[in-house]
């Protein structure tokens, strides 16, 4: 069920998407070239291995506080990034490590922030949920569910004001999609035709509450209908369908037609955070998704079977990614904590006037 447009199509099966219905491999999925699949494989694998390592470091007590892993959802952000251009802004909630890596932020800086070290993107003062890169146009990293949606709409307001042709890619989860300010933002974005693509990453659980238990309308692509915002449900486990829908949505926003909603039907393999009771869903459900719909395995299979890439090449990629991740972990482990004087910096900027 790839990229089915709202208009005119029956969404009966999508209304309460069971695992199979939502993630049946798209028969007519757009094809990637060998290079595109190689790129997607590398990028998604980097996120996967990085997050696995973060989980390990958390278990070792090197990462503290909250830590929300993106494992399982990699195809969403990578497919979106493959459709965006340099200068487009990205903003998301607290499950944000994957977005940073996808934006090209240095894994060392991200991992060092997770361990609260001076080489972290926020010099150790933000942590897992609060990282930013002005250079990469990554605007966080937000810990208040839904707040990033108004902020991302504000980024689009700035693009619109400056007429710079950029688009704000504003991510939220299925949980955030029930926050009031999301709809306040939808209204203004549609009213002013702001260049924003709202990416709703529906991983089916807001913490431990399933979509069906939290949402009267479980088809999130329809959440903008009353504002006239077009939306699509997208197989978010297939990086190809993600990129295809993203291309359409971003073009819509960039061409001055206003906001667009993409509901990415995805799945997180790990718990909500590191302390997750895992009582709200069955092990079988998780296993089934991993075995049958893993976004990275799908690409790997295509590379081997469709593009004829030698397995040794993929192993080389695996090794390269592991090295990047291990380097980041080593840096994040050995980098010193922030100087105590950092406690008092970055509270206010010096006024020049």
Partner 1 sequence: MATDILMPALSPTMEEGKLAKWLKKEGDAVKSGDVLAEIETDKATMEVEAIDEGVLAKILIEEGTEGVAVNTPIAIIAAEGEDVSAAASGGGKAKPNGSGGHPAPTPDMQAEGQADKPAPAAKTAEDAPRAPAAPAVITNKAQEPVMAEFPADTPMVTQTVREALRDAMAEEMRRDPDVFVMGEEVAEYQGAYKVTQNLLQEFGAKRVVDTPITEHGFAGIGVGAALAGLKPIVEFMTFNFAMQAIDQIINSAAKTLYMSGGQLGCPIVFRGPNGAAARVAAQHSHDYSAWYSNVPGLKVIAPYTASDAKGLLKAAIRDPNPVIFLENEILYGQSFPVPKLEDFVLPIGKARIHRPGTDVTIVSFAIGMTYALKAAQALAEQGIEAEVIDLRTIRPMDTDTVVESVKKTGRCITVEEGFPQSGVGAEISARLMVDAFDYLDAPVLRITGKDVPMPYAANLEKLALPSVAEVVEAAKSVCYK
Which residues of the shown chain bind partner 1 in the complex (CB under 8 A)?
89, 91, 120-126, 130-134, 139-144, 147, 149-159, 161-162, 180-181, 184-185, 187-188, 191, 345-353
Rank residues 72 and 154 by Cβ distance to partner 1 and give the closer one. 154
In whole angstroms, how close is the CB of 322 to partner 1 at the nearest point?
28
- Whether 53 and 325 have beta carbons less than 8 Å apart is answered as yes
Phi, psi for residue 170 in degrees, rounded to 5: -110, 110
In whole angstroms, how close is the CB of 172 to partner 1 at the nearest point?
13
- Whether 153 and 188 have beta carbons less than 8 Å apart is answered as yes
- Whether 149 and 182 have beta carbons less than 8 Å apart is answered as yes
- Say what the alpha-carbon torsion angle 209, 280, 79, 134 is, to the nearest 10 degrees: 60
In whole angstroms, how close is the CB of 109 to partner 1 at the nearest point?
10
Rank residues 51 and 159 by Cβ distance to partner 1 and give the closer one. 159
Rank residues 117 and 252 by Cβ distance to partner 1 and give the closer one. 117
- Whether 220 and 174 have beta carbons less than 8 Å apart is answered as yes
In whole angstroms, how close is the CB of 261 to partner 1 at the nearest point?
16
Distance, in Å, from the CA atom of 170 to the CA atom of 140, rounded to the nearest integer, reads 10
In whole angstroms, how close is the CB of 7 to partner 1 at the nearest point?
26
In whole angstroms, how close is the CB of 318 to partner 1 at the nearest point?
32
Pick from 162, 163, 168, 232: nearest CA to 195: 168
Return the HEC string of 254-313.
Answer: HHHHCCEEEEEECCCCCCCCCCCCCCCCCHHHHHHHHHHHCHHHHHHHHHHHCCCCCHHH
Burial class from Cβ neighbours inside 10 Å (0-12, 13-18, 19+) for residue 339 reads exposed
- Whether 74 and 300 have beta carbons less than 8 Å apart is answered as no
Phi, psi for residue 330 in degrees, rounded to 5: -65, -45
Rank residues 7 and 348 by Cβ distance to partner 1 and give the closer one. 348
In whole angstroms, how close is the CB of 176 to partner 1 at the nearest point?
13
Rank residues 83 and 149 by Cβ distance to partner 1 and give the closer one. 149
- Whether 240 and 32 have beta carbons less than 8 Å apart is answered as yes
Rank residues 79 and 152 by Cβ distance to partner 1 and give the closer one. 152
Rank residues 12 and 349 by Cβ distance to partner 1 and give the closer one. 349
């Amino acid at each position: 069920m790839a990229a089915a447009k709202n208009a005119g199509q029956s969404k009966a099966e999508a209304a309460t998407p069971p695992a199979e219905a939502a993630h049946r491999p798209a028969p007519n999925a757009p094809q990637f070239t060998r290079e595109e699949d190689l790129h997607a494989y590398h990028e998604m694998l980097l996120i996967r291995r990085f997050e696995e390592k973060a989980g390990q470091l958390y278990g070792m007590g090197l990462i503290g506080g909250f830590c929300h892993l993106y494992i399982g959802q990699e195809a969403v952000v990578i497919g979106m990034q493959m459709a965006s251009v340099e200068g487009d802004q990205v903003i998301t909630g607290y499950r944000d490590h994957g977005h940073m890596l996808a934006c090209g932020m240095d894994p060392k800086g991200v991992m060092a922030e997770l361990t609260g070290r001076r080489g972290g993107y926020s010099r150790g003062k933000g942590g897992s949920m609060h990282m930013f890169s002005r250079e990469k146009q990554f605007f966080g990293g937000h810990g208040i569910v839904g707040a990033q949606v108004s902020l991302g709409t504000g980024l689009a307001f700035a693009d619109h004001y400056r007429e710079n042709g950029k688009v704000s890619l504003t991510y939220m989860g299925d949980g955030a999609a029930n926050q009031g300010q999301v709809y306040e933002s939808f209204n203004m974005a549609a009213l002013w035709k702001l260049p924003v693509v709202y990416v709703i990453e529906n991983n089916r659980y807001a913490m431990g509450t399933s979509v069906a238990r939290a949402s009267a309308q479980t088809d999130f692509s329809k959440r903008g209908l009353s504002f006239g915002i077009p939306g699509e449900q997208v197989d978010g486990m297939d990086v190809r369908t993600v990129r295809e829908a993203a291309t359409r949505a971003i073009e819509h926003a960039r061409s001055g037609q206003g906001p667009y909603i993409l509901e990415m039907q995805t799945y997180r393999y790990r718990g909500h955070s590191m302390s997750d009771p895992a009582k709200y869903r069955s092990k079988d459900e998780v296993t089934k998704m991993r075995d049958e719909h893993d976004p990275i395995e799908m690409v790997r299979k295509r590379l081997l079977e469709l593009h004829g890439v030698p397995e040794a090449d993929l192993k080389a990629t695996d090794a390269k990614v592991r090295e990047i991740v291990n380097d980041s972990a080593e840096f994040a482990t050995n980098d010193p904590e922030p100087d105590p004087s950092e406690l008092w910096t970055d509270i206010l900027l010096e006024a020049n006037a």
